[in-house]
Amino acid sequence: PDVSKEENAIEKFKEVQEAYEVLSDDQKRAQYDQFGHAGANQGFGGFGGGGDFGGGFGFEDIFSSFFGGGGGRRRDPNAPRQGADLQYQVTLDFEEAIFGKELNVEIPVEDPCDTCKGSGAKPGTSKETCKHCSGSGQVSVEQNTPFGRIVNRQACGHCSGTGQIIKEKCTTCHGSGKVRKRKKINVKIPAGIDNGQQIRVSGKGEAGVNGGPAGDLYVVVHVRNHEFFEREGDHIICEMPLTFAQMALGDEVEVPTVHGKVKLKIP
């Protein structure tokens, strides 16, 4: 009752509880199948005449009809929605990841069609209101249940729930309002980025729907292994072979670094 906004939700919920008692009790179920609601439970009346629960009608459909079907909120199919996020994989050399880099990447995206400005309709024409749902995007469907006849709301199949029909489609996008193209995007890789980290580029994903904002682009960075260096957090490790004499007596050697060779005194 706290989910459904219908006035008779409490009565319906009581009926559902009583129905569940019959369905979960094999003996009561058998009595109901044979004698109807009077044989199973006197309080199980009010459902109309007997019959069984067969015919592909599931108990979960009853709850859906009462609490998730017509009474709940439905998302407006014409409301603005954010576009999908995209992901792009890029591989960098070890030094590029250390010092950072600026990249120009080319990614496939769906952008609004320039010919129809994203409407999907042929230029000079416009969408028409769907006659089957009167522009609501939803139609009422009656369904017979053990509780009587239930009217449920579902997306209109003629307009795919949009409430609008395109009579003359755009020849460029064929009515979708979008075209597939490759877009060049500048991505700045920050210095010190590590293997597996990703960069979010706001607003560079797929185009939004019904005027909604575009999604984001996530650039996932992979770093190639280096011949000499290894990375441990913010530290760079390099193994340097030394002779026994150098370790015993000390020495001064040249050590390679990402900034070039430096002299290191061995104590």
**Range with the poorest average pLDDT among 36-50, 156-170, 210-224:** 36-50
pLDDT tens-digit series, residues 15-25: 666 666 656 66
- HSE-CB for 193 with a 13 A CA cutoff: 25
Domain range for 14: 9-69
In a domain, 30, yes or no: yes
Cα 147 to Cα 141: distance, rounded to the nearest angstrom:
16
In a domain, 44, yes or no: yes
**Is 192 or 4 the better-scoring residue by pLDDT?**
192
User: How far does CA 142 lie from the centroid of its chain?
Assistant: 31
Domain count, the chain: 2
pLDDT tens-digit series, residues 141-159: 888 877 778 888 888 888 8
Cα 197 to Cα 33: distance, rounded to the nearest angstrom:
62
In this prediction, residue 56 carries a pLDDT of: 45
Mean pLDDT (whole number) for 107-136: 90
CA distances from 15 to 1, 18, 47, 105 (A): 12, 5, 9, 61
In this prediction, residue 19 carries a pLDDT of: 66
In a domain, 2, yes or no: no
Final residue of a structural domain among 31, 50, 69: 69
Final residue of a structural domain among 69, 86, 120: 69
Mean pLDDT (whole number) for 221-229: 92
In a domain, 244, yes or no: yes
In a domain, 256, yes or no: yes
**Is 234 or 190 the better-scoring residue by pLDDT?**
190
pLDDT tens-digit series, residues 232-243: 888 899 888 888
Final residue of a structural domain among 41, 69, 97: 69
Q: How confident is the model at residue 47 (pLDDT cuts 50, 70, 90)?
A: very low
In this prediction, residue 212 carries a pLDDT of: 86
**Predicted TM-score (pTM) above 0.75:** no
In a domain, 252, yes or no: yes
- Phi, psi dihedral angles at 175 (to 5 degrees): 95, -5
In a domain, 183, yes or no: no
In a domain, 91, yes or no: no
